[in-house]
Structure 1
Amino acid sequence: MKKKVSLKKVLIVLFSAYVCYIIGSTQISMTKIRKELNVRQQELTKLQEKNEKLQDEVKMSKTDDYIEKLARERLGMIKDGETPVIPKK
């Protein structure tokens, strides 16, 4: 006895396989997108921290103490009454 395979059953199986394929590929795409999102969020966090540091430096650069420090270090300036010290290289 041979069982007859109906067209309806074949179509149901093919449709089910297609739906499973679509769901699987969507899940894979979503996983890739989530990983990319995590990477981008980490980059954003690092850039925000760097931005904060730079903003702090800008605020600090406007203070008299910082300007004095730069003048002493980079330009070799001294205050009245101080003795300059020149390090050996």
Structure 2
Amino acid sequence: MKRSRAKKPSRKKRLNYGRLPVLLFVLFLAYLVIVAGGQLRQLWVMKRTLAQAEEELKTLKAHNQQLWEKVQVLQNPGALEQLARQRLGMVKPGEVPVLNSSPPSQGPNQAAPKE
């Protein structure tokens, strides 16, 4: 014989309104953590970018200083003439150019050419 099981009346789970404020508070905290995390990451990226830009600025200022020193040197006519003579082989009118046909002298670290 089969016993028929009597169906128990199902209980509907009802929301416990006493816990609702706690649930809302936890959701609010989770939202704040997500938003703050994104902002902190963005701040970290901006700080890193700023550090890179400051390092590049420092390098460019040093290079700019070197260029200004070259400008100051080249504004001296004597230095400009010396540079023209050395690099371009220029001579004054009436001077006889002297050409050096011997190979450059070897330093102590250079090996002698093999014959």
TM-score range, shorter chain: 0.7 to 0.9
Tell me the percent identity: 28
- 5+ residue gaps, structure 1, are none
- After TM superposition, the runs of 4+ consecutive aligned structure 1 residues lying more than 6 A away are 79-83
In structure 2, distance between residues paired with 1:38 and 1:6? 48
Match for 1:20 among 30, 33, 44? 33
TM score, norm. by length of structure 2 = 0.63
Match for 2:51 among 27, 38, 48? 38
Which has the higher Rg, Structure 1 or Structure 2?
A: 2
Cα RMSD (Å): 2.4
Structure 2 residue 76 is matched with structure 1 residue 84: no
Tell which has more relative contact order, 1 or 2 (C-alpha 8 A, sep 6+): 1
Structure 2 residue 88 is matched with structure 1 residue 52: no
Letter in 1 for 2:26: V
Give the paired residue count.
86
In structure 2, distance between residues paired with 1:66 and 1:72? 10
Match for 2:82 among 34, 49, 69? 69
- 5+ residue gaps, structure 2, are 1-15, 104-115
Give 1:88 shift: 5.9
Distance 1:87 1:70, change over 3 A: farther
**Structure richer in helix, relative to its length:** 1
